[in-house]
Amino acid sequence: MRPILAFNWKMNPQTEEEAARLAAASDETGVIVFPPFPLIHVVRNQLTKAMLGAQDVSAADGGAHTGEVSPEMLKALNVSSVIVGHSERRKLGEDDALVASKALQAARQGISPLLCVGESEAERSDGLEVEVVTRQLKTVFDLLGREGLGSRLMVAYEPIWAIGTGENDAPEDANRVAEIILKVAEGFNLFPRVLYGGSVTSATAGRYIGKHSTLSGFLVGGASLKPEEVRNMITEFLL
Ligand code: PGA
């Protein structure tokens, strides 16, 4: 199966010109670009093959929610996927219930939620990664499954300690957790694609995906802001 390269730009770049250049470099089938909201238009105009994503969505449909963006607004912009449950948003107070409502609202509009799960460094040291990830998955699987919307879901396993740190999880550990994710999903009759994220670069990505691996793509932050890295990953996985 063709891998998915999900490029999470976070709060970058700072100008429309840079965004346009980066989007042009990322434009390949199998890529999903997640720009910050104000740059979505610029990126949309550049993409002909890659899909457009958003980094967040409101759990509400509309109304008095200052600073929020509704799933319907995203749909009107041709956004096909939205990140939910990223650790950088969980750190701001988003809990599993809110993450699940965001995923549900997005899925109701036909937008695929890209659900991020992963344990902290302390949780990994205590051997709690399976417990933490399973808890994060179940609330979302349950809510989406009840409405028959789970088929739109993708999952990214991102150990928090590997995000933006240059630390890499061992490929066999990452694939072991990916297998557990699929097993939990199966219990809800769901079969999501599972991506890996956390300091992925063109030099390290190849170790995670092989003949027998469960992972089928990457959620890339820092490296997705470097056109050369982007080109290398596209050449290795998509061409
Ligand atoms: P990183 O970010 O590749 O910079 O570690 C990944 C992510 O947070 O999605």
Active site residue 65: no
Kindly report, residue by residue over 148-196, the tens digit of the pLDDT: 999 889 999 999 999 999 999 999 999 999 999 999 999 999 999 999 9
For residue 24, being part of any structural domain is answered with no
Q: Are 172 and 125 in contact (CB under 8 A)?
A: no
Q: Is the CB of 55 under 6 A from ligand 1?
A: no
Q: Is the CB of 112 under 6 A from ligand 1?
A: no
Distance (angstroms) between ligand 1 centre and the Cα of 13 equals: 15
| Number of structural domains found in the chain | 1
105 is a domain residue: yes
Using pLDDT thresholds of 50, 70 and 90, give the confidence band for residue 211: confident
- Chain mean position to CA 93: 19
Which of 28, 94, 119, 158 is catalytic? The answer is 158
26 assigned to some structural domain? no
Residue 20 lies in a domain: no
90 occurs within a structural domain: yes
Among candidates 115, 138, 219, 147, which has minimal Cα distance to 186? Answer: 138
Percent of the chain clearing pLDDT 70 (strictly above): 100
Concerning whether 158 is annotated as a catalytic residue, the answer is: yes
What's the CATH code of the domain at 60?
Answer: 3.20.20.70
Range of the domain at 222: 4-9+32-237
Q: Is 136 inside a domain boundary?
A: yes
Mean pLDDT for the stretch of residues 23-40: 98
pTM above 0.95, yes or no: yes
Does residue 23 lie in a domain region?
no
Q: Does a structural domain hold residue 17? A: no
